[in-house]
Every structure is written in C-alpha cells, then in structure tokens.
Chain A
Amino acid sequence: MGDHKPDVTVSRQMAQGERWRPEDARSDAELWQLITLDDHGAFTELFERHARAIWNYAYRLTASWAAADDLLAEAFLVAWRRRGDVRLVRESALPWLYTVTNNLRRDEGRRKRRFLRLAPRLIGADVEPDPAEAIAEDSATRQRLAIVVAGISRLPKSEREAVRVCVLGGVSTSDAAALFGISEVSVRARVSRARAHLHKILEEQLDD
C-alpha cells in the first residue's frame, strides 16, 4: 500500500503563504470552524501560516516596513474580533485577511488625515525616517513602490480594491470574484481598467 496523502485542498495563496507542511493538514476552513468556537490555538496556527504574506502585503500597501510591522498584528487582531464575519475563498482565509489589512490601512490613513486637518501645528512637517528602515530598504525600490501606492490611491474605488487584492496581493481574479461577491469577468474588467488608468497616472507622476 502506497503512502496515503491527506485529501486537503490547498489554494495557491495558501501555498504561497507561510510554509505549509502536509502534517499541518488542517485547512483554513477547518481551522476557522475551531476559531469560531474561540479556539486561540487554531487562530495562532492561522497566524503562523499567513503572517509572512500579510506582512509583505502590508508593505506593498504602505511602502513602509514600520507600518507593515504594525499592520501585521493589528490585522490579525481585527480578524480575531471579526471572526464571525470571515469569508473563505477556496477554503483560504488569506484573501479576506488581505481585505482586513487593507481596511486597517485605510482607517489609519483617515486618522492621520484628521490629525492633520485639526491640528496641523501638532504634526511635524518633516517626519524623521526610521533609520533601520532606511537601511533595510533600497531607497530606489521603495520610492518606486511609493509612487505605485500613491497612484493606486487615485484610482476609482472599485478598481482600487481590485488592484490591491489581485496585483499587490497576488490573488487570482476568480478568488477575488468570490471575495467581492461579483463575477470574475467584472474583476478582470476592473483590473484591466485599473491597469490602464494606473499607467496614465504613473506617467503623469513621472513627468512631474
């Protein structure tokens, strides 16, 4: 009798995330059944699985490793708090975790904007860069990413979300369709339009 392989569906995103090993045979869906019963261990296992992917995704959203560090813990905390609202895609929680992370990034941006509006004197015009971050990151790469991040923020909302999930997060259009609750054709159209718009925006920014 040959080796028996467990019948586990592993999405591409899961496979690309934190190292998945056959002995960790519980899928995200199985874990989430336990998580909804307040199983801390199951949630910690989910964190171990997806932390790397979320951290890298947070960096692509913000162009800041310091912000990514913060978003990593915050995203999983929010996911825990909203564990009753999860939407698994092909048994993976990663696309939903991406949206949680993206929403957090947006909320953080809102908070900062309010500070700026209300008390501009209280905010130093020049924020000292984190030296460790500056050393760790090649400045040219970071600048390029910052331009992309700024360009994405100027896209219409539907395109923006599609780009953040599909392009920055690497989620397939079919999985994004399941996540957004729309057809895959619509996701493809949004990504396609976004690419065209973003191309124009980035050209303008580079011209400037």
Chain B
Amino acid sequence: MIEHIELPPERELPEQVKAAARNRLVTGMLDNPGRANRAMIPLAIAAAVVVLAGFAVGAAVLGGTGGHTSASGSQTLDTDPYRQLPPEDAYAAYNTMMGAPTPDMGNRCIAQAHREPAGRPAPEQWQPLLSAMAHGEVVIVYRTSAGPVFCQVTPTTVALSQPGGPATATARPTFITASGTVAGTIDPKFQAAWVRQPFTGEQLTVSTPALVRDGIFLVPDAIQVPTDGLHLGVAPTQSAADMRSFTVPQSELPSVVQPTTDAPDNLPVVDQSGPAGQRMTACFHGPNSIPVISPKSWMPGAYQRLDGADSVQVASIGDIIAICTQRGSAPIDLELVDLNGYFDTSTIESNALITANSVFYDFQPDQGGSSHQVSIVGLLLSTQAASVRLTWPGGPNLVATVANGSYALPGYDLNDPSLHGAQPRISVYDAHGALLGSYEVKQ
C-alpha cells in the first residue's frame, strides 16, 4: 500500500535557494501590486451585456482566470478595447521563461546570425534574456552590446531583428515579422504596452497586450503585416486607463522580416480537402487573418451555422485552437487561442483537456448592434469525446457533437433569466453516452 512507499524526507531549504526565490517574489510583487480585491470586482456580464457588433470573439469563461464577455462594435468604439494584462499575467499569457526554451532554438537563432552577420555584434557574445510564445511561435530576446536582438523561431523558420539600440522615449518597434510578431524598445518607466493596427473607421481592431520587461516590449504572433503604421499604447502603470497612445507611421517602422526556412516541417499533413478544410483554408488566407504555423497540419473541426449568414468553423493543431467566424459577406475573422490559461480559460477533467472561447452572434440592429447570444467554441483533447452538453437548472439542454476534437455550441443566451444565480456546466460524453467529465462555465 501507499504507506509503504518511501517518500523522501523533508530537507532544510538552502539559504541561496530561498534568497533567490525571495528576490523573485519581491520583484514580482512590485510588478504586480494590485489584484487583491479581484474577487470583489463584479463579474461583468449576465443581465445587461452591451455587446456591439464587430469583432466576433469575446473571451471564454471557464474555470478560474479572467475572461471577457463582450464583443465590440463597428459603429461605436468599445469604451475599453484594451485587454488588461498586468506584467505577471503577460508572463503567463505568453509562456514567458528565462533564456531560450531549448538549446536547439537558441542554436538556430545563432546559426541564423552567422548566416546574416551584417549589422549585428558577434553572436557568441549574445546573452539570451527571456523568451515568449504564442500560437506555436517563440520569440527569444538576446542582450547584445548594440541593444536587444529578437529572434522568432517556429517549427520550420527563424527570423532575426537588427539590434534595437538604447531604449527611447515612449516605445519604438524594431522588429516586425511577416508572421505577426512585433517587438522593440520602450522607456523602462512604462509597465504596460499594447499594439494594434490603426482603426480604419469601419472596423475596430483589437489591441494586444505586450510583454514588457527591462526596456523591451514584445508581442508574439499578434498582427497582420502593417501597411498604414502601427498603433502603440504605453502606460506607466498596469492600467489601460493610464495609457498614452500614438501611431508610428509606416515610414518609421522597421522593414518586415521574412522568416527563413531552416528546418523541415515534420508535422503530419492533414487532409483538408473536405468542406471544413476548405473553410479553414479560406479563413487562414483571409484578409483579416494572421499567419499560422504549419498550415497543412491543422485539423479542421466543428462547423456551426449561427444565424442568418453567420457561421463559425473551428480548427486545431496540438492544443491551439483557431476560431474562424464568418459574418455575412464580411471577411472571415480568425482568432487563435493558446491553451495557456489566460486569454482562453481551460480546465482538465478526467483527462479531457478543454479550452473554450465565446463567439457572439445574432447582433440586433435595433439594440445598438448588440448581442447576448453566444456560441461556446471549444477543444477537447480526449479522443473519446463525442458530444458536449451545456446545462443549468431551468435552462435549455444544448447539445453539440464533437468533430475532430472540437465543438461549437450555440444557443447560450446570456440574458436568459434562468441563468440568474445558476451555474452552467458543460459535460463531455463519449460515443456511448458515458460522461467523461464536466466543467463550469464561469459567467
């Protein structure tokens, strides 16, 4: 029995380990002073959600971490289109770690530096500081004598920036890649930064929070190649309310770096010839899309008509999910969601790894273009998952089938009176109707 298993005796905590942890803790506390009363913040949706037509994907709402439950409008700018992402959360959102994630990734960056030596100090002297990741792309920050150098690595490509030079007033992009990464230098007095494409007047664009640290800012895999400048926001605190924003004109942006293919794509090719695959491919190549890694290896998943001409097509690779939302004749919106516990919310029940996001639909022109109808879109990594069911006491019984691990479950009316005080749950079933697990939908 387990009592007979020898557990190691407790040890005294070495003072140097404790001191290192204490230092990290103190630094982290200073970086993140203000969420003590998070539990007292009203959870924003339910009864009177004001959601304006425009970009489709709000945030999901499972488990414990924060989520967003509003969509924004094309006619009226959202009052707060800036996702709140304090530095510590940025670390979590981008899977930040010290140094390069693996020696091989670092080696590929150094090899690229040898292939493209012009303008950069000798790569042997570069010091990897930290790395961040989104949607399968990793960006490693190197300290060099000429300023920070950014290196973006995907399974098949590598891209290097020129040295960024010293930090300047406000912020200055020094690295933009064709696959959507933006990075640069920032005045160290700023604790937060956001990046987005400039508003076009018709379409609200999403501000993506940056990782900010030690005079650099970094947003992996976030934007389309800018053609009309880039909008930056910077704040001396972690609050978007303190933000100063400005547009960097196109002429002052660095040249877009085209990644170099330096490794074969060993991920398996997936049959994408069916209708779902064709919809997914069209989404990946749409004018509102950002590049995805290994596009031939994405698995087309659930497809769901929402209302009228609106529909959602889901796809996945590993535990990254792509949500393609078609709204009438408008270009398809693509949202990529990492399963890292921040932008998405996720949980693990009975080995069924679950992530989900909310797609708003059924926008009502006579209600200011708002919507309270949501399709919950999710990914299940259990190969046995065959269907999901959304239930709460007094509510409808909403069911969706699982296609290649993903689902789209429409009909979740945030203004349904029966939701008041109720706790909706999504239950996952196998093909025989056996319950695999369930999880709460946090409102």
Contact = CB atoms under 8 A, between A and B. Distances in A.
Chain A facing B: main interface SS: helix
A167 B24 contact: no
A118 B136 contact: yes
Contacts of B349: 157
Interface stretch (B8-16, B49-57, B188-196): B8-16
Given A81-B32, A82-B38, A84-B40, A72 B17 contact: yes
A80 B24 CA distance: 12
B88 interface: yes
Interface residues of A, number: 57
A76 interface: yes
A122 B102 contact: yes
A97 to B, nearest CB: 13
A168 B2 CA distance: 11
Contact of A51 (B2, B10, B21): B21
A26 interface: no
A98 interface: no
B44 interface: no
Contacts of A148: 5, 7
Nearest to A16: B10
Contacts of A117: 318-319
Contacts of A142: 8
Contact of A111 (B2, B7, B20, B340): B340
A191 to B, nearest CB: 9
B1 interface: yes
B426 to A, nearest CB: 16
Contacts of B340: 107, 110-111
B8 to A, nearest CB: 5
B35 A84 contact: yes
Contacts of A195: 1-3
Interface residues of B, number: 60
Given A120-B266, A122-B102, A144 B6 contact: yes
Interface stretch (A7-15, A30-38, A177-185): A30-38
Contacts of B267: 118
Contacts of B28: 73, 77, 80
B421 interface: no
Contact of A44 (B22, B95, B153, B341): B22
A36 B25 contact: no
A114 B338 CA distance: 10
B322 to A, nearest CB: 14
Given A38-B36, A82-B35, A144 B5 contact: yes
B155 A118 contact: yes
A96 interface: no
Contacts of A69: 17, 20-21
A59 B32 CA distance: 27
Interface string A140-159: 01101100100000001100
Contacts of B2: 163, 167, 194-195, 198-199
B34 interface: yes
A83 interface: yes
A167 B1 CA distance: 12
Contacts of B102: 115, 122-124
A83 B35 contact: yes
Contacts of B7: 60, 145, 148, 167-168
B26 A44 contact: yes
A69 B25 CA distance: 12
Contact of B10 (A40, A52, A83): A52
Given A118-B136, A119-B136, A47 B25 contact: yes
A25 interface: no
Contacts of B80: none
A111 B91 CA distance: 13
Contacts of B8: 59-60, 141-142, 145
B101 interface: yes
A114 B266 contact: no
A154 B307 CA distance: 43
B105 interface: yes
A77 B92 CA distance: 12
Nearest to B88: A81
Contacts of A38: 33-34, 36
Nearest to A57: B10
A85 interface: yes
Nearest to A111: B95
A107 to B, nearest CB: 6
19 contacts: A35-B36, A40-B30, A44-B26, A51-B21, A52-B13, A56-B11, A69-B20, A73-B21, A81-B88, A84-B37, A110-B340, A114-B318, A114-B319, A115-B102, A117-B318, A142-B8, A157-B437, A167-B7, A196-B1
Given A38-B36, A59-B8, 19 more contacts: A44-B25, A55-B17, A60-B8, A72-B18, A77-B24, A77-B25, A84-B38, A84-B40, A107-B340, A114-B319, A120-B266, A122-B105, A141-B6, A142-B8, A167-B2, A167-B7, A194-B2, A195-B1, A198-B2
A-B CB proximity, top 10 nearest: A73-B21, A73-B24, A117-B318, A84-B39, A52-B13, A77-B28, A119-B155, A195-B2, A56-B10, A72-B21
